[in-house]
């Protein structure tokens, strides 16, 4: 079964990734507006109203802010953990939700023929999860807001055919950049984000399993990173010829295929 994936947007301004396999259509996160998601999917010939589920990774606004609109306007069932929903509801205006389906951050979620494995993350959301989407023998990871390279992460990435992987910041740019000290500490701390170097080392090790077809670097910081720096670091550190893409902070990617 072939799978396709489109990053509709990735980064602190909003996250939303579309995955399709065997007739099942999923959105991971709802951090962009309903109109943006609808238009960007339509530009790739997809109808947002046919999406089977929007699955939320954690309670930070850049991942859940527009979940209520996705649910009400397009009738998409919302999959979210109870703790994430409670935390987000107290901060974002999610509005009235009709179709909410709970999962735990270590569950397997079945949506027709697709299995979504939730993986609990040490990021500083209240109950964060990353996801592996499995259709037949094919597996795509959507792994952002990871905290640090936790146990099992190399093993998980090694088991994937393709991955969206957080590559958030360049350490030198973060150190020299405008952020206040507490925020720099949060980002590079164990509950923050993965650096280019950490992501590159992880991908370098995982690619040795020879299963990965491509990796899309995701959730790049605007101030503390840029696509050229990220790609250069990955090429230097990982020392392989894995196909690399970069998810844009403001627009949709091409359609990526896993075959
Ligand atoms: Zn985020
Ligand atoms: Zn986050």
Give me ligand 1 centre to Cα 12, in Å: 5
How confident is the prediction along the chain (259 residues), in pLDDT tens digits per residue? 799 999 999 999 999 999 999 899 999 999 999 999 999 999 999 999 999 999 999 999 999 999 999 999 999 999 999 999 999 998 888 999 999 999 999 999 999 999 999 999 999 999 999 999 999 999 999 999 999 999 999 999 999 999 999 999 999 999 999 999 999 999 999 999 999 999 999 999 999 999 999 999 999 999 999 999 999 999 999 988 999 999 999 999 999 999 9
Rg of the chain in Å (alpha carbons): 17
Task: State the pTM of this model.
Answer: 0.97
Give me ligand 2 centre to Cα 259, in Å: 30
Looking at residue 130, what is its pLDDT? 98
Give me ligand 1 centre to Cα 224, in Å: 14
Looking at residue 258, what is its pLDDT? 97
How many angstroms separate the CA atoms of 128 and 198, rounded? Answer: 19
Neighbours of ion ligand 1 (CB under 5 A): 62, 145
Give me ligand 2 centre to Cα 123, in Å: 7
- What is the DSSP annotation of 149-173? --TTHHHHHHT-SEEEEE--B-HHH
How many angstroms separate the CA atoms of 7 and 220, rounded? Answer: 13
């Amino acid at each position: 079964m072939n799978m396709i994936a489109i990053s509709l947007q990735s980064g602190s301004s909003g996250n939303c990734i579309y995955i399709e396999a065997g007739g099942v259509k999923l959105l991971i996160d709802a951090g962009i507006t309903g109109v943006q998601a609808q238009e960007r999917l339509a530009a790739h010939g997809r109808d947002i109203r046919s999406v089977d589920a929007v699955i939320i990774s954690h309670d930070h606004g850049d991942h859940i802010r527009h979940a209520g609109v996705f649910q009400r306007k397009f009738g998409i069932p919302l999959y979210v953990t109870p703790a994430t929903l409670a935390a987000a509801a107290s901060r974002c205006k999610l509005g009235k939700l009709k179709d909410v389906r709970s999962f735990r951050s270590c569950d397997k979620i079945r949506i027709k023929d697709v299995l979504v494995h939730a993986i609990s993350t040490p990021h500083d959301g209240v109950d964060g999860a990353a996801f592996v989407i499995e259709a037949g023998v094919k597996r795509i990871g959507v792994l952002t807001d990871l905290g640090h390279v936790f146990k099992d992460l190399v093993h998980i990435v090694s088991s994937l055919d393709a991955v969206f992987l957080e590559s958030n910041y360049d350490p030198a740019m973060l150190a020299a950049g405008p952020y206040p000290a507490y925020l720099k500490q949060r980002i590079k701390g164990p509950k923050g984000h993965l650096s280019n170097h950490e992501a590159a080392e992880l991908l370098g090790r995982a690619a040795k399993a020879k299963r990965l077809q491509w990796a899309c670097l995701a959730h790049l910081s605007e101030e503390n990173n840029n696509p050229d720096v990220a790609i250069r670091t990955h090429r230097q550190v990982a020392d392989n010829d894995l196909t690399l893409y970069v998810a844009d902070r403001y627009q949709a990617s091409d359609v990526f295929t896993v075959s």
